[in-house]
A and B are shown apart, each in its own frame.
Chain A
Amino acid sequence: MVPSVFYEPPQSFKIGNPGDFPYGPPTFMADEKIFVFRDRDRGFAVASAVCTHLGCTVAHFGSDQKFHCPCHGSVFGADGAVLHGPAPRPLNWFEVTVARDGQLNINKDKIVPSSYRLMV
């Protein structure tokens, strides 16, 4: 009953050149369900937009620096830690590296601490 081949998007993929991403509020990439943070001093970090409770897509509002899940009301802090609601774990942060062609590469199979930063 489990397929031998999964025709699914790869877990490791490129998202573009570092210069494509603005400073300040994170860039939400809908298809990949990730937030790309770029901080002037601290570099790149990529957070998962998938709520750890039941998989709804969380929203990030620049105003309060928090992630809000619409399904069951979980709220995550700026570092992804659970502040409120039923979520059992903090949001995942993914490893971000620079590929040979200079693009940013995300690997969703590699979960990193929220303090992880890529300086470019």
Chain B
Amino acid sequence: MTQPKKAPPTYYGRPMIKRPTWSWFIPLYFFLGGIAGGAAAIGAAADLVGGRRHRATVRRARYLSVVLAAICPPLLVVDLGRPARFHHMLRVFKLSSPLSVGTWILSGFGLASGALAARQALDDGLLPRQENLLPARLLRRVPTAPLSALHGLLGLGLGGYTGVLLTATAVPLWAAAGLLLGPLFLCTALASGGAALTLLGALSRSGSAQARREIAAVESTAAVAQLGLALAREMLVSPEIARPLRRGVWGPVWRLGAVGGGMSTPLALRLAMRLSGRRIGPALDATLAALTLAGALTERFALIEAGKLSADDPRAYQALTRGAPGEARPTPQQQAARAGSVPAYQPHLVAPEVTGS
């Protein structure tokens, strides 16, 4: 085995690993699930410490998360090869599989969203108010504060696990990002959740200006972290592996759409407005929120589709695996020196056939 100075050979340029089989339902789920999780986290914080001015925020967050929590599981089920067997995910819990962890997070999130939305609907007078009705009595007993906190934590989990899920694959573009994808997806989730709440608030003309500014502050904080992580990822991943995100279709989509349009532009505009001492009105706020949402959607699609391209590229996988940690295997000479003596191979001795054959 000679170690060449030039690039190692490929097998007729064929892929070394299989590309993920997921359809566009999956990036769409990452996007919608992220919004639901982020909105739930903001709603929980608003519920716990936001006071009266955030009543509308809490209401919007609960309704938004229950709607999205109802849309997301069907997206995932439809993408299965055997959709009727979706419940097989619920027979095990495996920490080694982020998909298993995510299944349980999504299930818990759905239940918490349902309970909180039902309670909200009851308080809003959208459900029959008969005091003696069992569901109403049960719902009134729901301890909203702890449930909100749980909802928020599950929401953060829902936003972040998808990044870990991509990291724990052999796909060069995802695996090379190391520990950054989980945090990046979480920041995207929080930013897009806040953006969705802002947009809904503008559309329904609910919530005070003060509440709106506070949500915008959360959104901006998440966007700053998101931008930082996206740039860190850019520096960490070597050029051979990052190629599909730098060239071709997804290069401009990622750079101009996700990083430029979705993360940087809203931040830059907010900063410019603040420096010039002007307040951001509801209309501009909603526009920036829409931009953030479009950026989040673009980010999900660009990272997943570019990941598929990097899985097809044997050079990218070679770059990833050559840098993997661990000692080198013994040299051919060391291996040859280990030779002992064994009897000649006789198939029937190694694997006994059934008697009589």
Answer yes or no: are A and B bound together in one complex: no
Interface residues of B (CB under 8 A from A): none
